[in-house]
Chain A
C-alpha cells in the first residue's frame, strides 16, 4: 500500500457566523485550499455530524460539489458523531493507499448557530443511543458529570484540580487566531460559572460555534514539499457507559492506543505534539491517562507541564464545531509542525491526535510524522 500524506490545511475562525451557511463555510476553506495548492482534488469527503438535523440537508457532499462547481468530482459524507472529522481522514487515507485517487480533500463543516441552544443541545444529544439514553432524557454532559464525580471520589481530586484543564486550554486559545474563546480564565471563574450538570460548569464545556476546516490528503507523487505522513489511524468502539466496570476509564481510546503505540517507536507521548478530545474537562484528563501520558488518577497534576498539548486551546476554548473538530485538530498540528502556530513551533518528529464521541462510544487516534 502506498503512503498517505497531509499536504496542506485551511481553517476558518470558529464563531457565530450568522451570514454564512454550510455551503459558504465549505467554500471558505476550499477557496483557501485552491489558492494554496493551485489545483482541485480528485475526491471530496465532507465530515459533518449535524448537517441533516441543523440545516435539513441530506447528501451535503453532492450539494457541496454542485455549489463549488466541481462537476464530476466523487464525494461522500462521513458521520461518526464527534469523531466525524478523524473518521473522514481515516477514509481519505484508505482511498489514497488503495490508489483510487491521488488528492483527497477532507472538509469538516458544522453550522451550529441556526437555532437556539436548546435545539442544538437536543441534536447533539443524539450521539447517544436514542432508544435507551436520549428518550430517558440522558445527555452527554450528564454522563461527563457522572464520570467527573466518580473520578473525584475515587482519586481524591478536587474541583480546582479539574479546573487546571480549562485554565490551560483558555491560555492556549489566546494565541490561536481561529479560536472561538480567546480569553484566559481562572480556576475560580471555572468553579463559579453557571452549572450545566453538577459538578460540570459552563467553563468545563465546549462552546457552540460554526466552523470549517480542510485537510488535503495526497499520495507521494502529489505530496507538497511541506507534508506530514499519516503513519496510521486506529479506531474502535466501546460499550455504553452504564455497562462499564469502571466509568473513569476510556475503553475505546485505551484499545486504540494499544494497537497504535508500537508504531511510535521509542518516543514518549509526553514529548510528542498531542491533541486530545476535551468536550468536557474531565475527558481531557481521562484521555491523558488512557494514552499513558500519566498514571491513573494523576493526570490533572501534569497539565501545566505539557507544552505541546492542545496548542490551539482544545475543544474547550478553540471550539467544537462537531464534525469539523477532528480536522481543526489536524490543521493546527500541521501548522505547529510546519509553520509554527499559536506562538509555538514543534520541532519533534511525531504528533498524536485523539478524537472520541460522547463518553468514548467510538475513539480514533491519528499518528502523524514529519516527512
Chain B
C-alpha cells in the first residue's frame, strides 16, 4: 500500500541495497511491514498487488545461523 526505497546501511544486510520496504495490506485487511523484492525500485508503485514468499532475511556468519521469513514479490499475472 505504501513503500520507501531505502539506502540505509545496516550491518549484516547491506548486500541488497537499495531495499524496498513497504506496508502491505493483506486480503484479510491486516497491515504488515515487509520487504518487497524481485522488482526494480523504479518500477514499484503504490497499490501494486504482491504475494508472500519465503526468503532469506539475513545470516550471522560465521556463526552459521540463517534467518528466513516472509518477503513480498509483485504478482505479474492474474
Residues of A participating in the B interface, judged by any CB pair closer than 8 Å: 117-119, 121-122, 125, 132-133, 135-139, 141-143, 145-146, 149-150, 194-200, 241-243, 247
Q: Which residue in A122, A146, A149, A199 is a CB contact (below 8 Å) of B10?
A: A122
Which residues 14-48 of B sit at the A interface, judged by CB distance below 8 A?
A: 14, 19, 21-23, 31-35
**A136 in complex: contacting residue of B6, B7, B9, B57, CB < 8 Å:** B57
With A145-B4, A146-B23 as contacts: A136 and B11 at CB distance below 8 Å = no
Quote the shortest CB–CB distance from B75 to chain A (angstroms). 20
Contacts of A146 in B (CB 8 A): 2-4, 21-23
Q: Judge whether B12 is part of the interface by a CB distance below 8 angstroms.
A: yes
Total chain B interface residues with beta-carbon distance under 8 A: 27
List 4 additional contacts besides A121-B10, A136-B69, A146-B4; criterion CB under 8 Å.
Answer: A137-B57, A139-B21, A194-B7, A196-B7
The answer to whether A117 touches B9, judged by C-beta atoms less than 8 angstroms apart, is yes
Residues of A within 8 A of B21 (CB): 137-139, 142, 146, 197
Find chain A residues with CB under 8 A from B32 CB: 242
Give the most central of A117, A146, A200, A247: most B CB within 10 Å: A146
Separation in Å of the B76 CB from the closest CB of chain A? 23
Give the residue of B5, B11, B35, B58 whose beta carbon is less than 8 angstroms from that of A197: B5
Task: Check A118–B33 contact: CB distance below 8 A.
Answer: no
- Does B58 contact A139, Cβ atoms closer than 8 Å? no
A242-B69 contact given A136-B57, A142-B6, A149-B2, CB 8 Å threshold: no
B residues whose Cβ falls under 8 Å from a Cβ of A: 2-14, 19, 21-23, 31-35, 57-58, 67, 69, 71
Bound: A200/B67 CA distance, A: 28
Most buried by B among A119, A149, A150, A242: A242
CB–CB A141/B8 < 8 A: yes
Across the interface, do B6 and A119 meet the contact criterion of CB distance under 8 Å? no
> How many angstroms between the C-alpha atoms of A45 and B58 in the bound complex?
37
Asked if A198 and B9 sit within 8 Å, CB to CB, the answer is: no
Q: Is A141 touching B33 in the complex (CB atoms < 8 A)? A: no
What is the CA–CA distance of A133 and B8 in the complex, to the nearest angstrom? 15
Contact B31 A197 (CB under 8 A): no
Set A118, A149, A194: member contacting B4, Cβ < 8 A:
A149
Chain A residues near B23: list those with CB within 8 A.
Answer: 146, 241-242, 247
Residues of A within 8 A of B3 (CB): 146
CB-CB under 8 A from A200, the residues of chain B are 4
Closest B residue to A133 using CB positions:
B33
Cα separation A118 to B8 with both chains bound (whole Å)? 8
In whole angstroms, how far apart are the Cα atoms of A194 and B9 in the complex? 13
Q: Which residues of B contact A196 (CB under 8 A)?
A: 6-8
CB distance from B41 to the nearest CB of A (A): 9
When the two chains form their complex, are residues B8 and A121 in contact, meaning their CB atoms are under 8 A apart? yes
Q: Tell me how far the C-beta of B12 lies from the nearest C-beta in chain A, rounded to whole angstroms.
A: 6
Which residues of the other chain, B, contact A135 by a CB distance below 8 angstroms?
Answer: 57-58, 67, 69
